[in-house]
Amino acid sequence: LEYGSGMHRLREIISSEISDDEFEEKQRIYSVNFLNKEHLYYYEIYRREVGEIPLPKEGEKPCPGCKAGIEVDAFHCKVCGYVSDWRSE
């Protein structure tokens, strides 16, 4: 899908719109481990349209990627898509 439809061009366009300095600054501001500039771009849409990332509730652990709450035995964050190395846990 990504290459067949031309969607890979979106990643290039988004990356060209966000400077390296802006990317680094926003990583500090948001305290999110962005995978790339495209991830930051979509995160900002999420914040604008959905709101803040929910903090962990009782019985949950914080996601290493976005700090959202995930089940203690989960290896995947439903909010940001972070996947932990289940082999090391």
38, part of any domain? yes
State pTM to two decimals.
Answer: 0.76
Encoding tokens for residue 45? 């849409």
**Within a domain: 3:** no
pLDDT digit string, tens, across residues 36-69: 999 999 999 999 999 999 899 999 999 999 999 9
Domain residues for the domain of 73 are 53-89
Q: Is residue 27 part of a domain?
A: yes
Give the lowest-confidence range in 24-28, 45-49, 83-87.
83-87
Average pLDDT along the chain = 88
CA dihedral 39, 45, 50, 55 (to 10 degrees): 40
Question: For residues 28 and 52, what is the distance between their CA atoms, to the nearest angstrom?
Answer: 16
Q: 15: buried, middle or exposed (CB in 10 Å: 19+, 13-18, 0-12)?
A: middle
What percent of the chain is modeled with pLDDT above 90?
54
Q: Are residues 45 and 57 in the same domain?
A: no
| pLDDT of 87 above 60 | no
Residue 34 neighbours by CB under 8 Å, 6+ apart: 23, 26, 27, 40, 43
Asked if residue 89 and residue 58 are part of one domain, the reply reads yes
